[in-house]
Amino acid sequence: MVDKYHSSQTMRAPSLSPTSTISLPGLDLSSIPPIAILSAHLKDEEEAKLKETLRQHDAPLTTDVSRANVFIGKVGTKRRAEFELRSRKLVVQELVAVKRAASPIKTVGPPSRKRKLSRTTSSHVAVHEGDSTTEDETVEVSETEDEAPVENQVAPSSSSFKSEKDVRVAPVFDKGSNNDIIWVIKLDWIDACVSAGHLVPLADNLVYKAKVSERPKSLKTRSIKAVFSAVAKTTPTSQTLLATRPHTVQDILDRAKSDVSTTVSKSTYQPQPFRSHGSRRFVGKSFASSNLPAGKSYASHAAHLLQATTSEYEGEDSDIPQPPDWVKKGVKYSCQRFTPANGPNEDFLDQLKKIRTARTLIDDEIGVRAYSTIIASIAAYPYKLSHPREITQLPGCDEKTAVLFVEWKNTGKIQAVEDYGNDEAMKVLRTFYDIWGVGAKTARNFYYNNHWTDLDDIVEFGWNDLDRVQQIGVKYYDEFLVPIPRDEVEQIASVVREFAVRLRDERITVTIVGGYRRGKVASGDVDMIVSHPDLESTAGLVREMVEVLEDVEWITHTLTMNMTNTNRGQHVLPFRSAKGAGVGFDTLDKALVVWQDPTWPTRDRDLAEDSKAKNPNIHRRVDIIIAPWRTVGCAVMGWSGGTTFQRDLRRYAKATKGWKFDSSGIRSRSNGEAISLEGPDGVDGTPEEAERVVFEGLGLEYIPPEYRSTY
């Protein structure tokens, strides 16, 4: 894919590149607010040339986030801009300009019509293992389209500039008040300024504008990037956290230790106070983008972790086992490697999972994906980790991961995890997040907007504002957190099959998927795929099953029933379809229900004494999914792997085959047509055998479900 930034330069021959050292006369950037470069997605040479251009035109370039008001980089969406600011510990509140009427004379008229953006509600009901949309499948809508144009951004004529520099600046970076304002802008703005020879309006190049509520302290410490860059120049053969040669290790430590003396002393952790917008993030000591304690540089942090154990790691390279083939080949997709449920590094992985949970609660999607990749890679590693060099060679892992490993190995804990566990706000968010039907965004809304701190607050002050799924989630909160043992999972599935057979015939198949199929001792809920060799037998089956199971009291509540697959004739949904607009990624018929065993030993006696006697059995969450036989292999495959396994399966299908995979079938991305790996009538065998056919059709080695535990 051609880089948008560079392609824009080649399309306009007369225009000069923003990284060009030759400029038109007249451009003066000295009066713009302090500007900082967002280095993400910028190559080193691109960043160097951009700095050169900014300095040539006297821009007040700074690397100190505590001073910068303008941020420039390859940032295209508000969400990315918010992440970049948050990762730099900037607490901000977005400023949205109010749109004015088209004519200043016309004062009365209909209100302006606002375009509505479709948002997916974040909830545990909408996201399941094996059916989450991945980053390469998310359709992003430009969030700048709804922004009103910045006032006074019409470029004045050259004659109006006079000699006052601030006259040129005001229309572009006009705060309009004494507030501390920041702007996040695209690289194209610099290109436009260079081409015009003077400041031009931000217009569509403005990605995000906000008021700053809190800035980080200014630190004059060296970054770990600078330390490693210096080491790389002298020892290019070693680019991992700990080099094999003792003098290289000592070089890193000496450089890191030199920073310790200039580092601001570590302050005690203070939970974030309630605020309206910008502080809805956990920005404590360790959950900023760099995972570092407040007031510490990465280098000083690494020194603290490594200085006590340098001698321990020296000379250990010979003891490191030979990496498996997937490590040597750099295989990045977890669907191409075997990942057992209980590997040799579960204790370290438990720490990383807690960090990922914290990233989820602060709405850091990029961080969640990164940690998911790291966790899946380490989980597949067949040996007990003993040296940080082992980690840096794993796909998706880097020096930061190795630093966490060294900290954990040396101290038995990770400070980031300790901070997360001790933070009161995070405890509350985790409680709300565990409510069935409540996602991270809703949990933050409960806490930061409504100031609720426990379940009693929700019941007392917000019960009527909850949807039905959330009300059930609160009502059975404690019960839903109790794991379901394997024998109970099997018993529930046997009941479902019994009634499905009554409705159809003995050829009905019920395949338990999810964590149970991966070999988990206990599951959070029960997922099962129901199918039948005759296509007409699966049409409408989910509704009939729910009705009969409700009548006999196995199902106490039906929270969601989806008949999408039946309504479209059980055909695979085309990749591009007007009728399919807005349809979810997995479009199989399904029902999400609350399950309870209607029998108990003293039932008859209890009901004789009290006709409203309460059933003492625990409530369970059960998902019943109906799959047509011709795509049952895709359904079983799509609901059996861990979350990262399924994400990578979709990425693999897209990258290597040009296909779009989901549990209701496979489609071509080029023409949208369905691809029948299982044949037009399905496989003549079991659903498990059909799944093997799908693996083969995708060009993948078959991986047993117990080796798909990517978490």
What span, in angstroms and rounded, lies between the C-alpha atoms of 673 and 345? 43
- Assess whether pLDDT exceeds 70 at residue 216: yes
Closest by CA position to 136, among listed 655, 574, 699, 675: 655
Domain-embedded: residue 256 = yes
- Assess whether pLDDT exceeds 90 at residue 144: no
What span, in angstroms and rounded, lies between the C-alpha atoms of 504 and 536? 10
What span, in angstroms and rounded, lies between the C-alpha atoms of 375 and 643? 11
Domain-embedded: residue 687 = yes
Q: Which residue has the higher pLDDT, 196 or 703?
A: 703
Mean pLDDT of 329-342: 94
Least confident of 69-83, 118-132, 582-596: 118-132
Q: Indicate whether 524 and 451 sit together in one domain.
A: no
Confidence of residue 51 (pLDDT cuts 50, 70, 90): confident
Confidence at residue 282, expressed as pLDDT on a 0 to 100 scale: 42
What span, in angstroms and rounded, lies between the C-alpha atoms of 33 and 95? 17
- Assess whether pLDDT exceeds 50 at residue 650: yes
Q: Indicate whether 588 and 494 sit together in one domain.
A: yes
What span, in angstroms and rounded, lies between the C-alpha atoms of 662 and 220? 50
What span, in angstroms and rounded, lies between the C-alpha atoms of 324 and 295? 40
- Assess whether pLDDT exceeds 70 at residue 29: yes
Mean pLDDT of 141-163: 34
Q: Where are the beta strands (DSSP E) in 57-132?
A: 70-73, 91-94
Domain with 430 in it: 423-475
- Local structure of residue 578 (DSSP, 8 states): S
Q: Which residue has the higher pLDDT, 3 or 704?
A: 704
Q: Indicate whether 436 and 575 sit together in one domain.
A: no
Query: Per-residue pLDDT tens for 466-502?
Result: 999 999 999 999 999 999 999 999 999 999 999 999 9
In terms of average pLDDT, the best of 121-130, 263-272, 288-297, 454-463 is 454-463
What span, in angstroms and rounded, lies between the C-alpha atoms of 29 and 31? 6
Domain-embedded: residue 104 = no
Domain-embedded: residue 351 = yes
Confidence of residue 40 (pLDDT cuts 50, 70, 90): confident
Q: Indicate whether 35 and 71 sit together in one domain.
A: yes
Mean pLDDT of 108-128: 37
Query: Of all residues in the chain, what percent carry a pLDDT higher than 90?
Result: 50
Confidence at residue 397, expressed as pLDDT on a 0 to 100 scale: 94
Q: Indicate whether 353 and 234 sit together in one domain.
A: no
Instruction: List Cα–Cα distances, 283 to 404, 419, 449, in angstroms.
Output: 18, 10, 18
Mean predicted lDDT score pLDDT of the chain: 76
Domain-embedded: residue 314 = yes
Q: Indicate whether 441 and 458 sit together in one domain.
A: yes
Q: Indicate whether 345 and 296 sit together in one domain.
A: no
What span, in angstroms and rounded, lies between the C-alpha atoms of 367 and 60? 31
Domain-embedded: residue 129 = no
Confidence of residue 103 (pLDDT cuts 50, 70, 90): very low
The continuous run of DSSP H or E covering 253 comes out as helix 246-260
Q: Indicate whether 44 and 171 sit together in one domain.
A: yes
Least confident of 88-97, 238-247, 315-324, 613-622: 238-247
Q: Indicate whether 338 and 463 sit together in one domain.
A: no
Confidence at residue 640, expressed as pLDDT on a 0 to 100 scale: 96
- Assess whether pLDDT exceeds 70 at residue 263: no
Work out how many domains the chain is built from and give that number: 5
Domain-embedded: residue 274 = no
CATH number reported for the structural domain that contains residue 512 in this entry: 3.30.460.10
Closest by CA position to 272, among listed 260, 263, 284, 261: 284
Q: Indicate whether 208 and 68 sit together in one domain.
A: yes
Mean pLDDT of 702-710: 96
- Assess whether pLDDT exceeds 50 at residue 337: yes
Confidence of residue 318 (pLDDT cuts 50, 70, 90): low
Query: Per-residue pLDDT tens for 552-602?
Result: 999 999 998 988 888 877 776 655 543 443 333 468 999 999 999 999 999
Helix, strand, coil shares of the chain, percent, nearest 5, are 40, 10, 50
- Assess whether pLDDT exceeds 70 at residue 305: no
pTM score, whole prediction: 0.60
Q: Indicate whether 514 and 459 sit together in one domain.
A: no
- Assess whether pLDDT exceeds 90 at residue 452: yes
Confidence at residue 572, expressed as pLDDT on a 0 to 100 scale: 67
CATH number reported for the structural domain that contains residue 466 in this entry: 1.10.150.20
Q: Which residue has the higher pLDDT, 456 or 299?
A: 456
Confidence at residue 247, expressed as pLDDT on a 0 to 100 scale: 39
Domain-embedded: residue 558 = yes
Q: Indicate whether 488 and 573 sit together in one domain.
A: yes
CATH number reported for the structural domain that contains residue 63 in this entry: 3.40.50.10190
What span, in angstroms and rounded, lies between the C-alpha atoms of 184 and 70? 6
Least confident of 83-87, 408-412, 417-421, 425-429: 83-87
Instruction: List Cα–Cα distances, 534 to 500, 590, 694, in angstroms.
Output: 14, 18, 20
Confidence at residue 96, expressed as pLDDT on a 0 to 100 scale: 76
Confidence at residue 65, expressed as pLDDT on a 0 to 100 scale: 83
User: Are the CB atoms for 504 and 530 separated by under 8 Å?
Assistant: no
- Assess whether pLDDT exceeds 90 at residue 44: no
User: Are the CB atoms for 263 and 300 separated by under 8 Å?
Assistant: yes
- Assess whether pLDDT exceeds 60 at residue 179: yes
